[in-house]
Amino acid sequence: MQPVSRRTFTGQAMTLSVAVAAGPSAIVRAAIRLTRQDASPFDWKPIGDGARVAMGQGGNALVFTSNGQAALIDCKNLGYGHALLAESQSDDVRLAGVFNTHHHGDHVGGNNAFFGLFDIHAHPNCVARVKEQAPRYSKAWNERLRGDKPELKAEA
């Protein structure tokens, strides 16, 4: 994540001024097409010209599109980033930037799907708090992949 000022964050998010030198690799594009064949975990709702919101699965994520590019605002909960990556793009719209509004897990939990593909932009305070939380997110992701379930204990 790269810290940016609030003014810069807002300007970039709203005008889609982020430019990514190279788009996702052919492997990612293939994964995007495969993911689209499955039912979406989100309820997508249009909220204006070139803007739609992904509701469900914790938090909301916004996608703004213009001139064949898209900006994604927030990455939802852990485990849903790959679906957002797939569903925020299409054959004629390429994701150009990712932004986090704040550090809560339902806004940054899916960041891992975008690492190495896109810079994730956020306010410096958000960046610091996400870095503090990263070990916990990593542990939760590994537990999810292994199928570990926390043991519930009744208190007397």
Residue 112, domain member (yes or no): yes
- Three-state SS string over 19-67 comes to CCCCCCCHHHHHHHHHHHHCCCCCEEEEEECCEEEEECCCCCEEEEEEC
- Say how many domains are in the chain: 1
Given a contact cutoff of 8 angstroms between Cβ atoms, the answer to whether 121 and 2 are in contact is yes
Query: Average pLDDT, whole number, for the chain?
Result: 76
Residue 149: pLDDT band (50, 70, 90) is low
Residue 139: pLDDT band (50, 70, 90) is confident
Residue 153, domain member (yes or no): no
Residue 86, domain member (yes or no): yes
Given a contact cutoff of 8 angstroms between Cβ atoms, the answer to whether 103 and 126 are in contact is yes
Residue 43, domain member (yes or no): yes
User: Quick check: 101 pLDDT over 70?
Assistant: yes
Tell me the per-residue pLDDT of 18-70, one tens digit each, with 9 for 90 and over.
223 334 444 444 444 444 445 889 999 999 999 999 999 888 999 999 999 99
Residue 55, domain member (yes or no): yes
Residue 6: pLDDT band (50, 70, 90) is low
User: Quick check: 4 pLDDT over 90?
Assistant: no
Whether this prediction's pTM lies above 0.85 is answered by: no
Residue 149, domain member (yes or no): no
Task: Name the more confident of 150 and 138.
Answer: 138
Task: Name the more confident of 39 and 113.
Answer: 113
Give the pLDDT score at 152. Answer: 43
Tell me the per-residue pLDDT of 28-40, one tens digit each, with 9 for 90 and over.
444 444 444 458 8
Residue 25, domain member (yes or no): yes
Range of the domain at 19: 2-125
User: Quick check: 103 pLDDT over 80?
Assistant: yes
CATH of the domain at 21: 3.60.15.10
* 126-146: average pLDDT: 81
Given a contact cutoff of 8 angstroms between Cβ atoms, the answer to whether 42 and 63 are in contact is no
Residue 32, domain member (yes or no): yes
The pair of structure tokens assigned to 49 is 């010209």
